[in-house]
């Protein structure tokens, strides 16, 4: 497997790249789905062009420098893969769209029976709760209380303002901050 790189890289470089990739694959599920040989090739290619930036006077040895370079490369790959996953998850289709390209095709909504409708609602609500539970801890306690009052209690902003004894203008600012946090968490479709 690694014999392809002999001559371009020393054995320690191939070994170190293998070690770093294995560590990242064990840590990140998205990398487990990637072919090891592809990751190795990508990392070694990146290292090939990065090793000229090594500065021995910077106080680090070449192996440590290579390890950091590869970690940064793999972190960017993880970010790219997880961003793509969020992008795919965020894509939706209208239930009013036809199921197929045929002119007489039924819509997705027509295809769902009443029994399936209940299970679909349950799944959507469950997914919403899971997504929200990830985002809620990033909110301040005041923002969490506001979400509870507006969402679970179903209060209007005026009513929430009275309960919290906070001016409505302040609540609107908090709602803007909550929206920003939700968008950062990939929850813009729930706003």
The predicted structure's pLDDT at residue 1: 46
How many CB atoms are closer than 10 A to CB 36? Answer: 14
Please check whether residue 17 is in contact with residue 44, taking contact to mean a CB–CB distance below 8 angstroms: yes
Distance between CA atoms of 55 and 10, rounded to whole angstroms? 19
Tokens, residue 102:
């045929």
Closest CA to 109 of 122, 124, 90, 93: 93
- Give the residue-averaged pLDDT of 115-126: 56
Please check whether residue 2 is in contact with residue 15, taking contact to mean a CB–CB distance below 8 angstroms: no
- Categorize the per-residue pLDDT at 133 as very low, low, confident or very high, splitting at 50, 70 and 90: low
Q: Could you tell me which residue, 76 or 186, shows the higher pLDDT? A: 76
Is 18 a residue whose pLDDT tops 90? yes
Architecture label for domain 113-190 = Orthogonal Bundle (1.10)
Please report, for the chain, the start and end positions of each structural domain, with discontinuous segments joined by +. 2-90, 113-190
The strand ranges marked E within the chain are none
C-alpha distances in angstroms, 112 versus 82, 91, 119, 139? 31, 20, 10, 36
pTM of the entire predicted model: 0.45
Distance between CA atoms of 37 and 18, rounded to whole angstroms? 9
Please check whether residue 31 is in contact with residue 70, taking contact to mean a CB–CB distance below 8 angstroms: no
The predicted structure's pLDDT at residue 138: 77
Is 26 a residue whose pLDDT tops 50? yes
Is 90 a residue whose pLDDT tops 50? no
Tokens, residue 43:
């990392």
The predicted structure's pLDDT at residue 156: 86
DSSP letter (8 states) at residue 118 = H
C-alpha distances in angstroms, 131 versus 43, 136, 187, 188, 191? 33, 9, 7, 11, 12
């Amino acid at each position: 497997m690694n014999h392809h790189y002999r001559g371009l890289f020393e054995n320690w470089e191939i070994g170190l790249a293998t070690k770093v990739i294995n560590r990242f694959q064990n840590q990140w599920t998205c990398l487990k789905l990637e072919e090891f040989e592809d990751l190795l090739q990508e990392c070694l290619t990146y290292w090939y062009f990065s090793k000229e930036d090594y500065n021995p006077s910077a106080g680090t040895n070449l192996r440590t420098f290579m390890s950091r370079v590869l970690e940064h490369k793999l972190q960017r790959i993880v970010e790219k893969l997880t961003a793509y996953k969020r992008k795919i998850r965020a894509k939706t289709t209208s239930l009013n769209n036809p199921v197929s390209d045929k002119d007489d095709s039924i819509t997705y909504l027509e295809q769902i029976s009443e029994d399936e409708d209940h299970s679909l609602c349950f799944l959507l609500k469950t997914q919403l709760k899971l997504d929200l539970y990830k985002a809620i801890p990033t909110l301040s306690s005041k923002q969490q209380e506001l979400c509870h009052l507006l969402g679970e209690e179903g209060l209007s902003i005026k009513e929430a303002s009275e309960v919290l004894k906070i001016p409505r203008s302040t609540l609107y600012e908090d709602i803007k901050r909550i929206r920003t946090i939700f968008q950062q968490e990939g929850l813009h479709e729930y706003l």
